[in-house]
Amino acid sequence: MDGGAPINARTFDLGLAGISLTAGNKVNVGGTGQIVFEMLVDGKPQIVNTRGKVNNCIFSGDEFKIGFTFLPLDNEAAGAITKFMR
């Protein structure tokens, strides 16, 4: 998150509009930050590096479920996510 240390998280859901993560740390709704994740596209690792805004952060069990809306994706990131979702 902007102004904070990196947070390790696990991807819960992914789409062109945004990403849901699970993490051990709470984040503030409305905050923005850099989102970097790796996924396999056509059998090859692809790193997506984009910005997002926190829509929700809910404590569930022993972790937080965090929903981000992507701030405008570049064409490379949008193409990689589209291929991944097929």
- At 43, phi and psi to the nearest 5? 80, 5
Percent of the chain exceeding pLDDT 70 equals 100
State pLDDT tens for residues 18-45.
999 999 999 999 999 999 999 999 999 9
The pTM of this model reads 0.90
Task: Please compute the mean of the pLDDT values over residues 37-58 and round it to a whole number.
Answer: 95
Task: State the pLDDT confidence band at 86, using cuts at 50, 70 and 90.
Answer: confident
Phi, psi of 25 (to 5 degrees): -115, 145
Q: Which domains does the chain have, with CATH numbers?
A: 9-85 (2.40.10.220)
